[in-house]
Chains A and B, each alone.
Chain A
């Protein structure tokens, strides 16, 4: 067993596709209530690392622990399935392309998993959906199908869907990258609200301003390794590594 005292603990994470190494021995600890941003150029492995946390992209080496339980246990297929489904119920995930279920209304998107997995009654689930959709400001569109929602609205419903399972940890995989610029703020606002409620969050993002304003800690990744790590004030204002400086220079110049 582990000498666990971190909420999320990633130890020596390795991931390779054939001879291509995407993650090279990455270790990372996140405490309860912390908000961590992962930044870096595309192809740096930041999404892969995030997706390894709920074993969506299984690691080829290393361990992921969540709240004292190892996520990527090696188990026989059936037992592993049972274990991972249970684990994932506690980890909410938000995708770049929303992945809302197009054949379900916003309400049904939110109620489906709690009804199926937590055996909530229809009435209980409806109440939950109303709460969660209200929280993300989507109560007025509760019975809309995703095809009639804007990108920002879809993403807010997707966040509500994840929250409805009452996760201990939320993962955001470039949640605003696919949005038109004018729709980014409404999603950021919801994420800020979650931060104020002390939700533990790991956020892969391209938005330096947002990362600087809400996160406790920033990781800069490049070519499968963590190049620099620290509070936003240090990483953004006084980076110690040349690679970080270069990335920020390019990125902030591009953004401006």
Chain B
């Protein structure tokens, strides 16, 4: 059958639209995973056993099963309990929670490595435990985890392709639509791959810049 890339420009609009969706979904899920990660980390470290354990279980399940399976659970599970959300919202929630768990691992380690003296110093000037966490400990921990969280966010971008399977019209599904019209899978998946690669390179560039800035500010 051979390859014929001349069919690509005619469907570039749908690909670009898919690209925009991918970026939007990845961004929303990244934000959710970041703040979710902080909340999970604080729960894991600073709450009583009875609250902590269920979260441990959730973490364990999220790290021990494939993202795709989790997406199916969230998408169909929400419908099952009467919450009928658009697929893209379910996708954002699924991606966001999945990566929140991975971010939480990093943040926990970072919080623990922030000097104990910092917490004590904050408490001696009269801050409550919560205030000390919010104002002193977490900001320092967050700075430490930005580079490794950057890696997670790059992984999140690539994994956002999975939400095509639950019918979210992002880049991968857009490529599939174009293929449906042209029967040219190789060409369009390759184009999609190029877009993912380009976004990925941009993210790596930003990550390097942030890392440099952090290392300067020390």
Direct A–B contact in complex, judged by CB atoms less than 8 Å apart: no
Residues of B at the A interface (CB closer than 8 Å) are none
